[in-house]
């Protein structure tokens, strides 16, 4: 452990070298060489591992490591050259098998040689930084066998040929191919890549280039995609069976490039079978295939999406701008809903609910729904229709589904305030005429609107429902305090809060005496219980059930409007009345009266009075008599008023104007809100912020915003900056 | 278990041993036994006992090592013989692992002292990653493996060695003074096992190869070598080389009024991604400590005692070590007082610890300057003939390693779970190890 001992060691080591028998190294090496031969000839059973290991150890110990190392390389090289000759001699199909067999033999021999030479591996090779026995054995195999000129290309061609055969439908020995490719992998990643993978990918690329050309000329888009998909799974399968897992991405990208990316445009636009055709004919399976294949290549999905979007927009544009199709609002909306359902289904079943596709579809719908300015009205009408009658006999769950779908369309609307206007009108009509089918459905829709647009959007709508409820209570109270009224005509009053309901000018008329007495009683009852209120009669919105007896004594109950009731009651006192007389007696405004008379006299099957002369239009000089010959198989006869369900042109203009008028304060409020917090802001930013703030309700027009700003400046809410005219300043 | 087929009988040098293949499997695949049981050698079932022409006493020791994981060498077996036998069986690594335990500064035992034949004072000792070490004496570096067997000494043109360091268990970098006009000296890479010069590092200034004196060394995880350099025409600074290509990749030139090229100590700070460079008294009249960031060639932190009033007790910084965990630099003066400088403040002052001079003893005839080392949260400081161990957030003195032989400790180094202390008077170094873990 000390100085003394260390010096001894050095002398010892020195001694070793001299005592060695000069032929010792050669003798020992001969033993080992013979053993290597025996191992290669598979005749190793008689060998003693301990002896061989000890001999190899002694050679290294006695500084013959170099001799041992070069000797092992030379001997192994000799054997491998011999093996290469045998492999070369193999004919045809036996070639690969022979190669595989020799490779297995070599591996086993190499393992045993490494065992014997382990001490050299650990010490001599370690300190001289030479390749270790095992990697050396692999390199020797690579250089002497795999890279031997008469094996190298033949091996590659054999493998590529087998792959080609398999691609064209023949059955090959996959296990054998796997063993050979495994050999390449064992020899190192670069050997696998250079000697096999690269040429394999090139050959594959060539193969699929030709095949895809062939397919595209002869197949339609759907079939082509089926074939491409099949090829893709085949290649992935192939990798799993006999290639390195790292090759999967490479070979699939070859197939993707050759079969899809290079033909993308042509496939999508293929006549009579391309994407548009698939969309039109709901070919979910083909669409799904296209999606899953195209998503593999760059810009693949973008291409599909673009074509889908432009098709959808074009189709939608036709749908909403075709005057023929917008005749019936209910059908119009139903068509939109159908279209949406269709694309929802396509995206969910074929496009894997891809968000980008959903967005594309949404933006397309938003685009074309707003192309038609009447969309808000139509959607409201659709709801009206459904809530009036359409939902009868439908389960609650389904009602929800329909309403949810309508809400989807509603979301697309830019002018939500217009929708609100119409919805209010339609709801008012439904409520007043008692036509709502389901209170739950009504309320559910309001809740949906509320969650979508906020409290203020629906507060008036909710007010309408409250009014209906209080009216009921008030009526009960009224009849409770007037028990004498249980005989005679019944009056049902609905008290509508001003502001909650769509404003319509109150059209006065002279009510028949029986009714006006009742009205007066109610007025005094109501004002007696609620002080400080004003009550005015909206006779234009009422209805009446009156009983009538006709010529042959047949009795009917007529369901009419208040105006019609006023007219009919006149006939209690006279048989024949002229237009002028009726007008005088009732004081119904001319257009209303005309409509009212028209519906009483000119509608076939409901003409309870006759007109002279008989014509469609009402003239100032016409005469009216009770139609004694009126018959109907029903006891109750409903006489409608002649009103267009859709708005007439002037009405539309009016609504429009009202909407515009309502928007003004909203725009101003938004401007003030923004300026209050920002104090100073330039023109463009105000426009942007106002537009953003109002977006949930409507799309504000920049010119209108500008006008509102001017108006606010006039009223000293804002001022222009003195130096920069584009800047506005908030005046507190 | 209980399977008789598992049993194996050996005849080693005439003595019969019986064991199981399970025990032998502990030797691992890359061993004599691993190869022996390779399926290709048709051993099973062994008809008779297997003969091995080796020493039976050593085999007994090694068999017990495989059985228990403990190494117990009877006094009558020379270590070298045991190592020789272990090497035959491919069990050297097992012996090394069993010989000493994981490093703990508070449980160290002196395991050996190695005396050399080199004349003159030692310059440096450096622990290797697997338990070996190298010792620089004048112009020669002696290399020892973990068995403390000396390998070929290394030298760079027999120029005076300034520093030496292990890149890995097989590669040592040596920095030396240049020799006027001959291009000798500089920095070289050597094989630790054979002592061969593998590579000589060059320095270029303005695309011209220049001779240089290489000083302190440091390495980092990105395979970079740092060395303080002095060139002939005032090309002072810190050079950077790539360990793999051997090419110079960078050079941080010293700015006027500062010192980099003369540095006593370089330390790579992994967390901060910069290099600590310390030039200390008495190499220079003043101390300069700086942190260099090579990415943007920026001196990100610096400290110097220039201009600070010289106290009577002369608290001069003699060694410095950065402690990244506590964001500070620990320094030591010639009285072994520890001081701390905050790394988060630019140009802060030294906060000397009050622990000072508790054990003021008589100074030896030939005092050695204190040295510092940090290892897994333990701080080591050498002073005269002993090494103190400090632990905890307040660096409490917990142990002292002393051996009153060989004079003052001029350098020490921790690595491969061992501590090597080089003495200045006699050419001798001590090896301190942590004993293997207790049985229970």
Nearest one of B354, B275, B342 to B303, comparing CA atoms: B342
What's the pLDDT band for B209 if we cut at 50, 70, 90?
A: confident
| pLDDT at res. A3 | 47
Beta strand residue intervals within A274-379, DSSP E:
none
Least confident of A458-462, A612-616, B203-207, B311-315: B311-315
Do A53 and B38 count as a contact with CB atoms less than 8 A apart?
no
The percent of residues in chain B predicted with pLDDT above 70, rounded, is 91
CA–CA separation, B406 and B206 (whole Å): 47
Nearest CB partner across the interface for B35, out of A9, A47, A118: A118
What's the pLDDT band for A641 if we cut at 50, 70, 90?
A: low
Which residue has better confidence, A515 or A278? A278
Nearest CB partner across the interface for A112, out of B32, B41, B170: B41
pLDDT tens digits, one per residue of B393-411: 888 899 999 886 778 888 9
Residue B44, pLDDT above cutoff 70: no
* Same fold for the pair B7-99 and B109-433: no
CA–CA separation, A415 and A431 (whole Å): 24
Nearest residue of B to residue A55 by CA position? Answer: B53
Nearest one of B264, B326, B325, B251 to B290, comparing CA atoms: B264
Rounded average pLDDT over B64-77? 92
Do A123 and B150 count as a contact with CB atoms less than 8 A apart?
no
Element (H, E) at B137: strand B133-137
| pLDDT at res. A15 | 44
- For residue B112, which residues of chain A lie inside 8 Å, CB to CB? 1
- How many helices (H) and strands (E) chain B has is answered by 5, 32
What's the pLDDT band for A486 if we cut at 50, 70, 90?
A: confident
| pLDDT at res. B107 | 92
Give the residues across from A612 on adjacent strands.
Answer: A623
CA–CA separation, B192 and B128 (whole Å): 10
pLDDT tens digits, one per residue of A147-166: 999 899 999 999 999 999 99
CA–CA separation, A663 and A178 (whole Å): 75
Residue A543, pLDDT above cutoff 90: no
Is the CB of residue A4 less than 8 Å away from at least one CB of chain B? no
Least confident of A292-296, A650-654, B302-306: A650-654
Residue A10, pLDDT above cutoff 80: no
Nearest residue of A to residue B11 by CA position? Answer: A50
Our CA-based measurement puts residue B113 at a distance from the nearest CA of chain A, in whole angstroms, of 8
pLDDT tens digits, one per residue of A61-79: 888 999 999 999 999 999 9
| pLDDT at res. A695 | 82
| pLDDT at res. A11 | 41
Residue A384, pLDDT above cutoff 50: yes
What's the pLDDT band for A642 if we cut at 50, 70, 90?
A: low
Nearest one of B369, B357, B362 to B331, comparing CA atoms: B369
| pLDDT at res. B417 | 93
Do A49 and B35 count as a contact with CB atoms less than 8 A apart?
yes
Residues A308, A300 contacting (CB under 8 angstroms): no
Nearest CB partner across the interface for B40, out of A50, A112, A127: A112
- For residue A111, which residues of chain B lie inside 8 Å, CB to CB? 38, 40
Residues A15-45 as b/e (b if ≥16 CB within 10 A, e otherwise) read eeeeeeeeeebeebbeebbebbebbbeeebe
> What is the crossing angle of helices B56-68 and B79-89, to 10°?
70
pLDDT tens digits, one per residue of A406-422: 888 888 888 888 888 88
ipTM above 0.85, yes or no: no
Nearest one of B4, B82, B17 to B52, comparing CA atoms: B17
Report whether the peptide linkage leading into residue A613 is cis, meaning its omega lies within 30 degrees of zero.
Answer: yes
CA–CA separation, A689 and A511 (whole Å): 53
Half-sphere exposure of A350 (CA within 13 A, CB side): 26
| pLDDT at res. A373 | 82
| pLDDT at res. B361 | 54
Which residue has better confidence, A490 or B436? B436
- DSSP state letters, B64-96: HHHHHS-----TTS-HHHHHHHHHHHT-HHHHH
Nearest one of A363, A381, A372 to A318, comparing CA atoms: A372
| pLDDT at res. A132 | 93
Residues A616-631 as b/e (b if ≥16 CB within 10 A, e otherwise) read eebeeebebebbeebe
Q: Name the CATH architecture for the domain at B7-99.
A: 2-Layer Sandwich (3.30)
Instruction: State the fold for domain B109-433.
Output: Methylamine Dehydrogenase; Chain H (2.130.10)
Do A50 and B50 count as a contact with CB atoms less than 8 A apart?
yes
**Number of Cβ atoms within 10 Å of the Cβ of A105:** 16
Report the side by side order of strands in the sheet with B338-342.
B319-323, B328-332, B338-342, B351-352
CA–CA separation, B125 and B116 (whole Å): 13
Q: What is the largest CA-CA distance in chain B?
A: 86
Residue A463, pLDDT above cutoff 90: no
- For residue A62, which residues of chain B lie inside 8 Å, CB to CB? none
**Number of Cβ atoms within 10 Å of the Cβ of B372:** 21
Residues B172, B132 contacting (CB under 8 angstroms): no
CA–CA separation, A386 and A393 (whole Å): 11
| pLDDT at res. A7 | 44
| pLDDT at res. B49 | 79
Residues A411, A488 contacting (CB under 8 angstroms): no
Residues A474, A533 contacting (CB under 8 angstroms): no
- How many helices (H) and strands (E) chain A has is answered by 32, 9
Residues B274, B294 contacting (CB under 8 angstroms): yes
CA–CA separation, B51 and B11 (whole Å): 5
- CA distances A204 to A161, A253, A262, A390, B251, Å, are 11, 11, 15, 61, 51
**Number of Cβ atoms within 10 Å of the Cβ of A713:** 15
Task: Count how many pairs of residues, chain A against chain B, have C-beta atoms within 8 Å.
Answer: 58
Least confident of A10-14, A170-174, A656-660, B376-380: A10-14
Rounded average pLDDT over A473-491? 81
| pLDDT at res. A552 | 75
pLDDT tens digits, one per residue of A115-154: 999 999 988 998 888 999 999 999 999 999 999 998 999 9
CA–CA separation, A155 and A175 (whole Å): 16
| pLDDT at res. B357 | 53
| pLDDT at res. A9 | 44
| pLDDT at res. A257 | 92
Residue length of chain A: 732
**Rg of the Cα atoms in chain B:** 25
What's the pLDDT band for B310 if we cut at 50, 70, 90?
A: low
The percent of residues in chain A predicted with pLDDT above 90, rounded, is 32
Nearest CB partner across the interface for B32, out of A47, A53, A108: A53
| pLDDT at res. A2 | 45
Nearest CB partner across the interface for A54, out of B35, B53, B193: B53
Our CA-based measurement puts residue B437 at a distance from the nearest CA of chain A, in whole angstroms, of 24
Through-space distance between the first and last CA atoms of chain B, rounded to whole angstroms: 25
pLDDT tens digits, one per residue of A387-404: 876 566 677 777 788 888
Residues B410, B138 contacting (CB under 8 angstroms): no
Which residue has better confidence, A438 or B324? B324
Rounded average pLDDT over A170-185? 92
The percent of residues in chain A predicted with pLDDT above 70, rounded, is 94
Which of A55, A127, A137 would best serve as a mutation to test chain B binding (most B beta carbons within 10 A)? A127
Domain boundaries, chain B: 7-99, 109-433
What's the pLDDT band for A309 if we cut at 50, 70, 90?
A: very high
């Amino acid at each position: 452990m000390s100085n003394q001992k260390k010096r001894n060691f050095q002398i010892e080591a020195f001694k070793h070298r001299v005592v060695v028998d000069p032929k010792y190294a050669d003798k020992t090496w001969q033993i080992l060489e013979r053993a290597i031969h025996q191992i290669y000839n598979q005749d190793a059973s008689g060998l003693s591992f301990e002896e061989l290991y000890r001999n190899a150890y002694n050679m290294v110990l006695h500084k013959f490591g170099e001799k041992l190392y070069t000797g092992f390389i030379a001997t192994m090289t000799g054997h491998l050259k011999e093996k290469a000759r045998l492999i070369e001699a193999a004919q045809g199909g036996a070639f690969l098998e022979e190669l595989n067999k020799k490779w297995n033999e070599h591996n086993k021999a190499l393992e045993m040689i490494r065992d014997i030479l382990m001490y050299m591996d650990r010490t001599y090779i370690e300190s001289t930084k030479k390749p270790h026995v095992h990697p050396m054995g692999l390199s020797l195999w690579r250089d002497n066998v795999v890279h031997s000129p008469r094996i190298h290309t033949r091996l590659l061609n054999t493998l590529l040929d087998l792959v080609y055969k398999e691609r064209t439908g023949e059955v090959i020995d996959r296990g054998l191919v796997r063993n050979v490719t495994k050999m390449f992998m064992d020899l190192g990643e670069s050997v696998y890549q250079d000697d096999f993978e690269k040429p394999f990918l090139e050959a594959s690329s060539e193969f699929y280039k030709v095949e895809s050309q062939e397919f595209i000329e002869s197949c339609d888009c759907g079939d082509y995609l089926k074939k491409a998909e099949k090829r893709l799974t085949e290649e992935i399968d192939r990798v799993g069976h006999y290639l390195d897992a790292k090759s999967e991405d490479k070979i699939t990208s070859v197939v993707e490039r050759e079969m899809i990316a290079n033909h993308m445009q042509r496939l999508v636009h293929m006549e009579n079978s391309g994407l548009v055709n698939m969309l039109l004919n709901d070919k979910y399976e083909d669409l799904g295939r296209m999606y899953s294949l195209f998503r593999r290549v760059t810009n693949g999905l973008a291409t599909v999406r673009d074509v889908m979007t432009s098709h959808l927009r074009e189709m939608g544009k036709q749908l909403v701008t075709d005057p023929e199709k917008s005749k019936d609002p209910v059908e119009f909306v139903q068509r939109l809903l159908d279209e949406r359902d269709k694309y929802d289904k396509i995206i969910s079943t074929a496009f894997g609910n891809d968000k980008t596709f959903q967005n594309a579809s949404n933006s397309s719908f938003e685009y074309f729904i707003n192309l038609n300015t009447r969309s808000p009205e139509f959607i409201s009408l659709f709801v009206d229709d459904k809530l009036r009658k359409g939902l009868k006999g439908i389960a609650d769950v389904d009602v929800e589904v329909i309403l949810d779908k309508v809400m989807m369309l509603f979301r697309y609307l830019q002018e939500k305030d217009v929708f609100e206007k119409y919805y209010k009108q339609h709801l008012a009509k439904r409520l007043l005429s008692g036509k709502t089918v389901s209170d739950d459905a009504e309320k559910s829709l309001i809740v949906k609107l509320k969650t979508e647009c906020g409290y203020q959007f629906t507060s008036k709508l909710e007010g309408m429902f409250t009014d209906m409820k209080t009216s009921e209570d008030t009526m009960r109270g009224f009849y409770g305090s007037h028990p004498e009224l249980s005989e005679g005509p019944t009056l049902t009053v609905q008290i509508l809060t001003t502001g909650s309901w769509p404003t319509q000018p109150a059209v006065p008329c002279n009510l028949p005496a029986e009714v006006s007495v009742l009205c007066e009683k109610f007025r005094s009852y109501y004002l007696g219980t609620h002080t400080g209120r004003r009550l005015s009669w909206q006779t234009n919105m009422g209805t009446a059930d009156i009983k009538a007896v006709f010529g042959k004594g047949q009795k009917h109950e007529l369901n009419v409007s208040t105006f019609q009731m006023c007219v009919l009651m006149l006939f209690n006192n006279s048989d024949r009345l002229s237009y002028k007389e009726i007008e005088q007696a009732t004081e119904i405004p001319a257009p209303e009266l005309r409509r009212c008379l028209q519906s009483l006299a000119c509608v076939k099957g409901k003409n309870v009075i006759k007109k002279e002369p008989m014509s469609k239009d009402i003239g100032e000089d016409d005469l009216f008599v009770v139609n004694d010959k009126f018959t109907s198989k029903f006891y109750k006869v409903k006489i409608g008023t002649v009103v267009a369900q859709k708005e007439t042109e002037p009405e539309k203009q009016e609504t429009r104007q009202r909407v515009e008028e309502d928007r003004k304060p909203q725009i101003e409020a938004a401007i003030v809100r923004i300026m209050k917090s920002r104090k100073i802001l330039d023109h463009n930013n105000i426009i942007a912020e106002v537009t953003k703030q109002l977006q949930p309700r409507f799309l504000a027009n920049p010119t209108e915003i500008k006008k509102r700003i001017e108006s606010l400046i006039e009223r000293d809410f804002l001022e222009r900056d003195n130096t920069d005219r584009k800047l506005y300043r908030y005046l507190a | 278990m209980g399977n008789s087929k598992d049993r194996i009988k050996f005849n080693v040098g005439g003595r019969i041993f019986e064991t199981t293949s399970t025990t032998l499997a502990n030797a691992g695949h890359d061993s004599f036994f691993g190869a022996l049981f390779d399926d290709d050698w048709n051993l099973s079932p062994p008809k008779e006992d297997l003969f091995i022409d080796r020493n039976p006493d050593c085999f007994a020791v090694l068999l017990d090592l495989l059985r228990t994981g403990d190494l117990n060498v009877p006094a009558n077996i020379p270590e070298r013989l045991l190592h020789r036998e272990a090497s035959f069986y491919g069990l050297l690594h097992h012996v090394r692992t069993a010989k000493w335990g994981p490093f703990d500064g508070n449980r160290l035992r002196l395991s050996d002292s190695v005396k050399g034949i080199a004349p003159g004072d030692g310059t440096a000792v450096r622990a290797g990653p697997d338990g070996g070490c190298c010792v620089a004496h004048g112009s020669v570096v002696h290399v020892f493996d973990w068995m403390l067997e000396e390998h070929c000494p290394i030298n760079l043109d027999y120029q005076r060695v300034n520093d030496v360091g292990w890149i890995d268990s097989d590669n040592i970098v040596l920095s030396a003074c240049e020799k006027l006009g001959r291009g000798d000296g500089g920095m070289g890479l050597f094989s630790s096992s054979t002592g061969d010069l593998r590579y000589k590092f060059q320095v270029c200034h303005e695309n011209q190869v220049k001779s240089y004196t290489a000083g302190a060394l440091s390495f980092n995880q990105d395979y970079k070598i740092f060395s303080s350099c002095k060139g002939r025409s005032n090309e002072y600074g810190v050079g950077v080389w790539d360990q793999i290509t051997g090419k110079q990749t960078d050079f941080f030139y010293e700015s006027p009024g500062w010192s980099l090229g003369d540095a006593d100590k370089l330390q790579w700070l992994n967390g901060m991604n910069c290099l600590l460079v310390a030039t200390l008294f008495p190499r220079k009249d003043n101390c300069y400590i700086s942190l260099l960031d090579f990415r943007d060639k920026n001196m990100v932190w610096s400290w110097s005692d220039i201009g600070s009033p010289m106290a009577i007790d002369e608290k001069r910084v003699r060694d410095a070590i950065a402690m990244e965990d506590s964001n500070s630099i620990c320094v030591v003066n010639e009285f072994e007082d520890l001081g701390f400088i905050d790394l988060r403040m630019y140009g802060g002052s030294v906060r000397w610890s009050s622990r000072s001079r508790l054990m003021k003893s008589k100074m030896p005839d030939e005092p050695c300057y204190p040295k510092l080392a940090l290892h897994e949260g333990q701080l080591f400081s050498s002073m005269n003939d002993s090494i103190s161990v400090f632990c905890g957030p307040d660096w409490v003195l917990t142990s002292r390693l002393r051996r009153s032989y060989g004079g003052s400790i001029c350098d020490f180094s921790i690595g491969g779970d061992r501590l090597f202390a080089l003495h200045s008077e006699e050419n001798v170094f001590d090896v301190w190890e942590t004993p293997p873990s207790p049985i229970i």
